[in-house]
Amino acid sequence: MKVLTIVGARPQFVKAAVVSRALARREDVRETILHTGQHFDEALSDVFFRELGIPEPAYHLGIGGGTHGQNTGRMLEGVERVLLDERPDWVLVYGDTDSTLAGALAAVKLHLPVAHVEAGLRSFNRRMPEEINRVLTDHAADLLLAPTPTAVENLRREGLSEARVRWVGDVMYDAALHFGRLADRASTVLARLGLDPRGYVLATVHRAENTDDPARLEAVFEGLAQVAAEIPVVLPLHPRTRKA
């Protein structure tokens, strides 16, 4: 069986590291990876493939940096071209990015089966581009791989056939278990930052709804400052947050 996996953003790289490892153990499965280029910065892309042991992408579209409409349209065109050449038995997409939606749309229009990892997750906030992407992908996909019972219930409420749904568990939890053990053995970041294990809080702030609203961003950092008065806060800065 030939599987074409479509990734583009760093959360998808982490998920793919787990699933690709499982697929590699199957003698009857051959996986080909397509990277749309949605996250194109070295620190947001290449380093994940190296450190997580993900096979090198066979295709790299180099598409990123535009608006949602620009990215999705260009990805749709590029993914379709690859699918016409590869003609996989399944197309595998992850999560809720523009790469996810473009991959699913390109595949279903060519009548290729689509599997969606992290199906059924909902924020119920239609102002989020990610919410639109995940809902449309779920309704287009043939196999819905849901991480939680709540996700399964969300799909049921939307009228999607239960025959298409599988409750498979959370691949991000699998990733945390696997790479957490590796980090315990190999990582030096705690020593570099002068931190004790479990003696700090890790935070991330990157949603446009938070970074692009000065009052909201100020409130977030005021909250983090209150936490930091009691325990160190480690905040890896996303480029959008750093710019804001």
Annotated catalytic sites, by residue? 206
Distance CA 6, CA 34 (A): 5
- Answer yes or no: are the C-beta atoms of 17 and 49 closer than 8 Å: no
- Residue ranges of the alpha helices (H) in the chain? 10-24, 46-52, 68-86, 98-109, 129-140, 149-157, 171-186, 189-193, 208-211, 214-228, 239-243
- Which residues sit opposite 233 in a β-bridge? 201
55, 231, 244 from 224: Cα distances, Å: 37, 10, 16
- Closest Cα to residue 75, out of 95, 59, 86? 59
What torsion do the CA atoms of 222, 228, 233, 239 make, to the nearest 10 degrees?
A: 20
What is residue 164's DSSP assignment? G
Are 167 and 149 in contact, with CB atoms under 8 Å apart?
Answer: yes
| Rounded (10°) CA dihedral 21, 26, 28, 32 | 0
